[in-house]
Amino acid sequence: MSYQTQVIPSRKRRIIRPAGPMKTPYGLEVIESCLTCPLTTERLFCHLPKPTLAGLDAISSSATYPKGAILFTEGQQPRGVFILCNGRVKLSASSAEGKSLILRIAEAGEVVGLPGTISGKAYEATAEALEPIQANFVPRDAFLIFLREHGEVALRVAEILSDIYHATYREVRYLGLSSSAAGKLARFLLDRVESAVAKQGEAASPMRALLTLTHEEIAEMIGASRETVTRVFADFKKKKFVEVHGSTVIIRDQASLQKIAGA
């Protein structure tokens, strides 16, 4: 089921909870505070000094959303940012004909709505929950004041905006530099694996990455149809270019994929 109405986060309120993990109607384990969030050592924006996290917590309001919920829509004036505690959010743009293109998949610990909130310009994408999520909403005015008061947060915001820029650059490569669906998919897989290896450093397994996207989502990211992605993926596996084990994709013939991608 798709939810087309915007879900407004509830105001913070003091609630006495039973001991142990708290489950929501969507099966999520609620993260009560930025100070106790398990992602603080894993994500750039969350890894801040405790006093700074306490300040961020004070201006945030937490809410849970069902799969398909719309956090904000393309063209809407920016209200603020959403910091994801659990789940994934799809950021997509649509044409007048209804064709959709996924710009980015944001995961737990990431921030959505940041470019519009900083610039004051309309949101450039629609943010839709791909699964039940929990997110902290920070209103735009409070967020901008918070950045002015905390230089370390402003630096992290600059890094996040840089990451968004590079993700957009990769999207342009998929759409513009490869003339065929096979070339686009080859470039997509190479970028995913190379990015995973770079993040893991010396501990990385050679040429492998976790790929949680469906064929439909991959198709919307590279500008192809789901049927085409499924067919080309099967061809890559048949030719031993890649192996897939559950959600893990392993590149076995990097040279052939680079040739297809036009590298």
- The reported pLDDT for the residue numbered 46 is 63
Out of 3.40.190.10, 2.60.120.10, 3.20.20.80, 2.40.10.120, the CATH code matching 34-169 is 2.60.120.10
Q: Which of 51, 117, 120 lies closest to 83 in space, CA to CA? A: 117
Query: What is the CATH topology of the domain spanning 177-261?
Result: Arc Repressor Mutant, subunit A (1.10.10)
In the chain, what are the domain boundaries?
34-169, 177-261
Contacts by 159-165 with C-beta closer than 8 Å and gap 24+?
Answer: 159/44, 160/44, 160/45, 160/110, 160/111, 160/114, 161/114, 161/115, 161/118, 164/104, 164/114, 164/115
pTM for this structure? 0.71
Q: Which of 17, 151, 127, 27 lies closest to 71 in space, CA to CA? A: 127
- The reported pLDDT for the residue numbered 99 is 77
Instruction: Say how many C-beta atoms besides its own lie within 10 A of residue 261's C-beta.
Output: 22
pLDDT in tens, 154-209: 988 898 888 888 777 777 766 666 678 898 899 889 888 887 777 666 555 568 88
Is the pLDDT reported for residue 10 higher than 50?
Answer: no
- The reported pLDDT for the residue numbered 8 is 42
Is the pLDDT reported for residue 16 higher than 50?
Answer: no
Q: Same fold for the domain at 34-169 and the one at 177-261?
A: no
pLDDT in tens, 26-39: 666 666 666 566 65
